[in-house]
């Protein structure tokens, strides 16, 4: 029994360390300069290692009653049925394979984390993984192109600055409340530094939402955050300001400060008055996606039709609407509802902020359901929501038994 617990804990830590940090995609890109085949091989490996645990967990637990499982079956159904409306070319076929891989990953993470002890272990491992991601991003700030192909924007192992920033925010969301209260402020600030090095406006907005949300709910103290910021500013004043000109020269020579980064920094100072290339491109792609959706607004163009465009719409809602019409707009909100529906107690606060983040993120990204780190956290949120309800049911059962037992004894 003890050996099985150690083995489960080892697999839990391994799954977070590998899939949250995006190791499969990164290693495959380095080896073959392609990223299509890597996830399925790593998922098969995880399934093989955890098969005995997964079978036992599926038989003993109530995970099959999770709303997330119902959403997965609905997602599979709409994928298959709407495939017949598509061109049925290679790209729609690839989209079908990606979606079923998404469902498999959700099932694996759901079964692997469906243990009360696993929840805390996952969140603790996430805290370490977030700090690791921040360290890589800060390193790349001073050594550009260490991981990224975009000078000046850090990506770490995620190979994409937007994905890197969003992953750090999501990891922080689940990890911060498991830390001691006096550590939460510094942890949030350190994560914010890692997010800022990506210069991803969507990720920075999501970081602000998490911080404000937790402060409003009393999970993070305003005094703690302000003290951490004050200490950081003092450190900057003592260490960096005397060498500020030298630092700017070094960053400029290394390519960190370039036109793309300068445009983004200008946008932060005047969002309505500055229009950089990235903003223009997103507006163009969004309009293109909307026009294609308008051609078939009710049924859409079929599964995978949105992938036949040269570039994605950077908007999950528009991508699904292109494929499935009006029904597609509800896919992501229904997923959020499925994983947060039963949240109670502490999990409820995390669920509220999680739902806000995902809904906002859908306007900036079109690959939320193709990223292993996001799928892992969807499964974790579902387990946290259901486990809280289970604990309450167990408490009520014990209390009922204690009240009923004396009556039974009295009758006998």
Q: What was the pLDDT predicted at 48?
A: 87
Q: What is the mean pLDDT of residues 171-188?
A: 92
Pick from 88, 178, 153, 119: nearest CA to 391: 119
User: Any idea which of 107-116, 263-272, 321-330, 344-353 has the lowest mean pLDDT?
Assistant: 263-272
Distance CA 351, CA 358 (A): 10
Measured between alpha carbons, how far apart are the two ends of the chain, in Å?
Answer: 38
Q: What was the pLDDT predicted at 83?
A: 94
Among 279-283, 291-295, 395-399, name the most confident range: 291-295
User: Any idea which of 101-110, 129-138, 261-270, 389-398 has the lowest mean pLDDT?
Assistant: 389-398
Q: What was the pLDDT predicted at 401?
A: 37
Q: What is the mean pLDDT of residues 266-277?
A: 65
- 131-143 tens-digit pLDDT: 999 999 999 888 8
Q: Which residue has the higher pLDDT, 178 or 401?
A: 178
Can you give the pTM of this predicted structure? Answer: 0.86
- 60-98 tens-digit pLDDT: 767 777 899 999 999 999 999 999 998 888 889 999 999
Q: What was the pLDDT predicted at 3?
A: 61
Distance CA 55, CA 146 (A): 41
In order of 91, 188, 351, the CA distances from 213 in angstroms are 39, 13, 11
The sign of the CA dihedral 360, 365, 368, 371 is negative
Percent of the chain with pLDDT over 90: 43
pLDDT band, very low/low/confident/very high, at 243 (cuts 50, 70, 90): low
* Residue 68, both tokens: 């997330």
């Amino acid at each position: 029994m003890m050996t099985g617990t150690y083995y489960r804990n080892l697999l839990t830590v391994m799954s977070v360390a590998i899939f949250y940090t995006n190791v499969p995609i990164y290693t495959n890109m380095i080896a073959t300069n392609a990223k299509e085949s890597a996830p399925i091989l790593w998922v098969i490996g995880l399934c093989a290692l955890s098969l005995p645990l997964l079978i036992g967990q599926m038989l003993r637990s109530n995970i099959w009653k999770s709303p997330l499982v119902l959403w997965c079956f609905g997602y599979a159904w709409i994928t298959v049925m709407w495939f017949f409306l598509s061109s049925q070319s290679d790209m729609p076929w690839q989209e079908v394979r990606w979606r079923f891989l998404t469902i498999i990953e959700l099932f694996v993470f759901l079964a692997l984390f469906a243990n009360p002890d696993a929840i805390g272990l996952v969140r603790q491992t996430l805290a370490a993984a977030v700090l690791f991601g921040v360290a890589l991003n800060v390193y790349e700030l001073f050594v550009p192109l260490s991981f990224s192909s975009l000078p000046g924007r850090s990506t770490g192992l995620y190979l994409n600055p937007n994905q890197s920033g969003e992953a750090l925010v999501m990891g922080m969301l689940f990890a911060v409340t498991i830390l001691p209260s006096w550590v939460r402020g510094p942890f949030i600030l350190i994560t914010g530094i890692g997010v800022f090095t990506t210069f991803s406006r969507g990720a920075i907005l999501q970081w602000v939402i998490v911080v404000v949300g937790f402060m409003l709910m009393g999970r993070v103290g305003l005094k703690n955050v302000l003290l951490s910021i004050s200490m950081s500013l003092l450190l900057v004043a003592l260490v960096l300001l005397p060498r500020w000109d030298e630092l700017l020269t070094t960053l400029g020579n290394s390519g960190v400060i370039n036109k793309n980064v300068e445009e983004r920094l200008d946008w932060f100072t005047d969002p309505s008055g500055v229009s950089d290339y990235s903003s223009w491109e997103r507006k163009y792609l969004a309009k293109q996606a909307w026009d294609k959706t308008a051609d078939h607004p009710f049924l859409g163009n079929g599964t995978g039709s949105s992938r036949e465009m040269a570039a994605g719409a950077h908007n999950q809602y528009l991508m699904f609407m292109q494929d499935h019409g009006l029904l597609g707009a509800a896919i992501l909100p229904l997923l959020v509802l499925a994983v947060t529906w039963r949240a109670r107690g502490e999990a409820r606060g995390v669920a509220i902020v999680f739902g806000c983040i995902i809904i906002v993120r859908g306007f900036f990204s079109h690959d939320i359901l193709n990223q292993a780190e996001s799928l892992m956290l969807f499964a974790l949120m579902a387990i946290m929501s259901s486990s809280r309800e289970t604990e309450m049911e167990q408490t009520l059962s014990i209390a009922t038994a204690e009240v009923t037992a004396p009556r039974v004894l009295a009758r006998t």
